[in-house]
Structure 1
Amino acid sequence: MIDNQTSAPSVTVTLESGPAGAGSIDDFELFYSRRAVDRFRTLLGREGLLDLLAADIEAGNAFLRESALTSGGRFKAGTTVLATKGLTSAEFLAWMDKAFAGDEQPLLAAHPEHYAMGTDEIGARVVENIGPHVASFYMGGWGTDALDWAKDAAELLPESEFPRKMSSNLFLTDGTVIGRALIQFGDTTGGFTASLTVYFPVACPDEVLDHHLRHYAVEFRNWIVAAAA
């Protein structure tokens, strides 16, 4: 398993010349990484990928279920805040509504650890990493009307500044609530601010929460860029 932590290398390497066009070595690596991930997703197909991850999903869901049961309904929260210029929140959310209603490819492309996103007989299903754990869960109560828990959340921002809000429980097929999400958008001059809060059971290690805050930053940045394009 790849280490869950990231750190800067002790050696610095600078690209002086060679490739045509702009971009750093990190940019090149990101491009090739995305291309490789897309190739494997395409070759395996949705069901092939889920079959390949079946054991990981079983283990990940078991970890989250145990964390939820141990926590007794108590959650800890973290928030990622993104500032966008050149796009309004209404334009972005319109793109998101269209993306979730259509093919899952634009949703999967936003993060290397997105494995499936779609709707089945239970509801809106997501298969992705939660920290180091691959999990398959559902989002329930997603919409503009906050769930009861969200109405009293300490992270709830003033409606006058963040009028567009979405909240959801994250739950397993047996109904166990393994997390929550509270997403809030407020327009600014020339753009918008996104406040992205996730909640995990208090028994989960802090690194699980921290890595999902990074996950939020990656996926929403890429969704916003795709919406603008």
Structure 2
Amino acid sequence: MADTRKAGPEEGSPLRASLGQVLRTLGDLIVLNWLCVLCALPVVTAGPALCALYYVTLKLARGEEVRTLRGFLDAFRANLKRGAALGLLVLALGAVAAGDAFFALRQEGALRVLFLTVATVVAVIALTLLCYVFPLQARFQNTWKGQVKNAFALAFCSPGRTLLLWLIALLPVAVPLFLPPVIMRMLGFVYFIAGASGPAWLASRVLWRIFRRVLPAEDGEPN
């Protein structure tokens, strides 16, 4: 007798495998999000936390095997000193940009234009470092000065993708400013489970395209 049952996704089918991969990635991002937030709470450890976050998301974006919890904690410890220095550098630049912008809004005429210009330039520098220096530190060994130099070199060599990385970095901050509170309450759950790790994973997919095109094929020892 012919089997009249409807065919469905079977064990090992591409659909089931894809769904399983999506769920595993989502689970990894939830774990990473809270690890990053907790480890960054002292502020001074925000840099190492971002290095560790990118260490794992770069592997996830490339399809490499990684143990999420162990990989994050190992990368956090490995980048504790240098990551903290880079994090404080970015925070200092952000504070200078915010201070100049605040001062500019209290001025008039040419002085306002001058301070707004300085604030914009410093903010762009800080944003570029935020997008590049922590992924570089997570993946490649170098001095902190070398990481800063390479961050600007990569940004200059890939301006289109740098703009995309800026957008990914700014979007989580900009969205609450433009959406009504009702919608933000609905999106709050997304921020709760992947507010930090989600953008880092998206950025990692862009970063690998830049790394492949500009840098040697990992001839440096990865962290």
Task: State the TM-score, normalized to the length of structure 2.
Answer: 0.27
> Where is the helix percentage greater, Structure 1 or Structure 2?
2
TM-score norm. by structure 1 comes to: 0.27
From the CA coordinates, give the structure whose radius of gyration is larger. 2
